[in-house]
Amino acid sequence: MKEGNRKVDEQAREVISSILLFEVSDPRLQLVTITGCSVSFDRAYCDVFYTAEPERYASVEAAFQAAKGHIRSLMAKQLAWKQAPELRFHLDETVDAAEKLGKHLSEEKARQAAFDEAAEQGGEL
């Protein structure tokens, strides 16, 4: 990926995050985090990656589908691009995967500590 494209992606992420924070009143989109954007080379498309609480995935997806035209028009006003990209929203599952991995690592650490303690005492598990 070229440096210029990273700047465009970050600019899109910042603008969309700001729009969600200050200009969209749909309560389903509160506490949604935009984790990244990927703007196509010709700026025709912008893939927007987001995360929210797992129990809200369906309602957040529906809210984005309902608001994407409004978000796109607000984005066009804030960016000096020749065209406003079509927005495509995607759930970012890496956050959930990281949380699962962290949980498994914590469980393994506790299991290993119990094993080490038993070994020091000469006992068995």
Q: What is the DSSP string of 23-35?
A: T---GGGTT-EEE
| Whole-model pTM over 0.85 | no
CA distance 62 to 26: 11
At 9-64, the pLDDT tens digits run: 999 999 999 999 999 999 999 999 999 999 999 999 999 999 999 999 999 999 99
pLDDT over 90, % of the chain: 66
pLDDT of residue 1: 47
Least confident stretch, 8-12, 57-61, 101-105, 120-124: 120-124
Write the Ramachandran bin of 122: left for phi over 0, alpha for psi from -120 to 50, otherwise beta. left
What pLDDT does 86 receive? Answer: 97
Q: Is the pLDDT of residue 97 over 70?
A: yes
Of residues 26 and 111, more confidently modeled: 26
**Confidence band of 93 (pLDDT split at 50, 70, 90):** confident
In whole numbers, what is the pLDDT of the chain averaged over residues?
90
